[in-house]
Amino acid sequence: MTSWLTPLIILIVLLLLGAWSIWLERRVLALWQDRLGPNRVGPFGLLQVVADMIKIFTKEDWVPPFADKVLFIISPMIVMIMTLLGFAIIPFAPNIQIAQFDHALLFLLAISSLSVYSIMLAGFSSNSKYALLGAMRTAAQMISYEVFMGLALMGVVVLADDFSLSAIVAAQADVWFICYQPLGFVLFFIAGIAEIHRAPFDLPEAETEIVAGFHTEYSSMKFGMFFIGEYLGVILISSLITTLYFGGWQGPFLPPLLWFILKTGFFVMFFILLRAAIPRPRYDQLMVFAWYILLPLSLLNLLVTGAVKLGILG
């Protein structure tokens, strides 16, 4: 396949999947809560997403007169760009990957850190108390959970002896890393929820407390970019879980790409069902959970993994 064609196809598919995930979440939550979801516009309500997109595009693209206009406009772009850049290093199948290099995991952590700036700038530039409060919550939450997300990933790096995602997938040819890193998987999964501020860790945009948090003043397509960015984040974290702990595209009988889609789809569904099953904690509980429980556990996981690895090599 032509070199420029692969990223173009992946980009189009990801944007379609991000939009389709909105419909999927509504339908699954409706089934889980014993009610009706989208079922009027198109077969099974599939065209509801199209109607929503038309509505977003045709709404007034309003910039508050009290906002910092430049930062206000570029903030949604940053979150979309950073999320899509994260997909560039994912090995979807043996020959389907946009970029492959030796320090892909470090690139991932850098991208994750830069995403914080988007939401901070959105809250700050809005010049709104609710938006600023949501941005402050986001900064504290994402920076805190990034710490042990990186430590959880180090267990996988120790086992694979490599920072490359392709090498990590290849290292799981015999046994998936979930068997060796169950604690690391749980830690990474929890950190992933906090990083994309999905329920139950959606305190930066808690509707019952701060209206809509950092994107309170946003409308039209700029709000749509934040909205789609969240669902793309769910797909990205699910793809990383599949790659790091569940063998990536590896599996018997079925084509590699299909295995990757099935595994990733399973975790996307889990993210959705998690939203319906677990209530939102208080913000102080969220931070205490990170620093007093998850950080020591991630250090313990790394210590034990390193000790076992050195014992085997010795």
Q: Helix axis angle, 5-32 relative to 48-58, nearest 10°?
A: 110
DSSP sequence for 101-153? -TTHHHHHHHHHHHHHHHHHHHHHHTT-HHHHHHHHHHHHHHHHHHHHHHHHH
Q: Where are the domains of the chain?
A: 5-309
CB of 129 closer than 8 Å to CB of 69? no
Tally of CA atoms within 13 A in the half-sphere of 52 that contains its CB: 18
Q: What is the pLDDT of residue 204?
A: 67
Rounded CA-CA distance 240/89 in Å is 10
Rounded CA-CA distance 164/166 in Å is 5
Count of CB atoms situated within 10 Å of the CB of 124: 19
Rounded CA-CA distance 305/82 in Å is 31
Q: What is the pLDDT of residue 314?
A: 47
Q: What is the pLDDT of residue 95?
A: 81
All residues at 6 or more sequence positions from 174 whose CB lies less than 8 Å from its CB, including other chains? none
Closest residue by Cα to residue 151 from 256, 1, 267, 291: 291
Rounded CA-CA distance 248/166 in Å is 9
Distance between the two ends of the chain, CA-based, in angstroms?
A: 45
Q: What is the pLDDT of residue 208?
A: 64
Rounded CA-CA distance 68/59 in Å is 21
Count of CB atoms situated within 10 Å of the CB of 277: 11
pTM of the model: 0.90
Rounded CA-CA distance 49/51 in Å is 5
Identity of residue 197: H
- Per-residue pLDDT of the chain (314 residues), as tens digits, is 446 677 778 788 888 888 888 888 888 888 888 888 888 888 888 888 888 888 888 887 878 888 788 888 888 888 888 888 888 889 888 888 887 888 888 888 888 888 888 888 888 888 887 888 888 888 888 888 888 888 889 989 998 888 889 889 989 988 899 999 999 999 999 998 888 878 788 776 666 666 777 777 887 888 888 888 888 889 999 999 999 999 888 888 889 999 999 999 999 999 988 888 888 888 888 888 888 999 999 999 999 998 888 876 44
Rounded CA-CA distance 142/241 in Å is 18
CB of 242 closer than 8 Å to CB of 248? yes
Identity of residue 70: V
CB of 152 closer than 8 Å to CB of 191? yes
DSSP sequence for 146-176? HHHHHHHHHHHHHHHT-S-HHHHHHTTSSS-
Q: Which residue has the tokens 């994750």?
A: 112
Q: What is the pLDDT of residue 181?
A: 92
